[in-house]
Amino acid sequence: MVSELTTKPNVDGGGQADIDHLRRLPSQLGQSIKGQNHMIGRVCSVFTRGELGFAHPRRPRGSFLFVGPSGVGKTETVNTVTAYLFNGGKPVRFDMSEYQLQSSVQKLIGESRDDPGLLGRALIGVKRGTLLFDEVEKAHPLVLDLFLQMLEDARITLATGEMLELTGFYLNFTSNIGSEETMRMENAPFASVERTVSMRVRERLRPELLGRINEVIVYARLNYATQREICEGMIGAELARLRALGHDLDLDSSVVEFLVREGYHRTLGARPMRGAVERYLQDAVTAALLAGDAGSGCITTDAHGERLVLRRAEIAPNRRSDEPARHVPLLSGGVPGRP
């Protein structure tokens, strides 16, 4: 479920705090989504206009189609903006790979007068937020007809007879159309990739659907440097989480390179990176705890560079035992710098 904003922006001067909040949206999105700077202005424009009340009164506050390979930040974009604008909320998400049959319409909006469907149940009591429909190209054509109605009139009638109003929502669709071309065009300028993917989208999706969407945004594949930057951010977040659990951890400079090597994936983007960061850092702490050691210290690679190990901080000869241990200096976010 999604939460509502505690206060609405007020363009008459009474909602300056909310205006300031909207002003910071681009930087918030840029911190969370790496390698996709071209889309930040377009995304923030739609959300900002929607929150300021400029959207058409009988349509959704905004709508997007995010297109690109797996693991490049499409869904994360929606997650980030939703959490930022809606008080830590999450999108109401539907995986369209589960809606490929004609009966999928009933699955969404209900089969009988006492069945509101999954969509109706998800939006009970919710008036504002974001809806996320992943892999929209896989949906049955009759489901796409529902989307046409939602985009055009910002309402949908459930099997119960109840009409859902969607004027307070942003509708977000994702798609992997053109992903193969994106991966093959590794050395091509992004403008060429964008044109090619946009052409594939127009071939696969109905023009009446595309014509109702505010922004169709093509995402770039993530190169090695970008995935390394993403890895550093994930390390910082995981260290903060482990510290909150009582494990005071620093990192040796070799750890980042190890985790990037283990988590980098050319075709799956940053998706495997999170699993690698969590697994290897947690394994190092777990092994230390099982060996009877404290779960704090400096994480480094083992002698063969095959795994991470947690070593207790050594007390220097000229340092009192009650002084804090000295570990490898860390940059902001708990990420070690290059040696």
- For the chain, domain boundaries: 16-218, 224-336
pLDDT tens, position by position, 244-263: 999 999 998 899 999 999 99
Residue type, 88: G
Q: Which of 281, 74, 26 is nearest to 175 (CA)?
A: 74
Q: Can you give the pTM of this predicted structure?
A: 0.84
Say whether pLDDT at 91 is over 60. Answer: yes
- Average pLDDT along the chain: 88
> Is the pLDDT confidence value at 180 over 70?
yes
pLDDT at 303: 81
d(CA 299, CA 307): 10
Instruction: Quickly state the pLDDT bin for 313 (edges 50, 70, 90).
Output: low
The CATH class that applies to domain 16-218 reads alpha beta
Q: Does the structure show a pLDDT above 70 at 220?
A: yes
Give the model confidence (pLDDT) of 6-58 as tens digits. Answer: 334 434 444 454 899 999 999 999 999 999 999 999 999 999 999 999 999 99
Fold identical between 16-218 and 224-336?
A: no
Cα–Cα distance measured from residue 17 to residue 9, given in angstroms and rounded to the nearest whole number:
8
Structure confidence at residue 321 (pLDDT): 38
Q: How confident is the model at residue 168 (pLDDT cuts 50, 70, 90)?
A: very high
- Decide if domain 224-336 falls under CATH 1.10.8.60: yes
Q: What is the pLDDT of residue 183?
A: 85
In this structure, the dihedral spanned by the alpha carbons of residues 194, 199, 204 and 207, taken in order and rounded to 10 degrees, is 110
Percent of the chain at pLDDT > 70 equals 87
Is residue 55 within 8 Å of 77, Cβ to Cβ? no
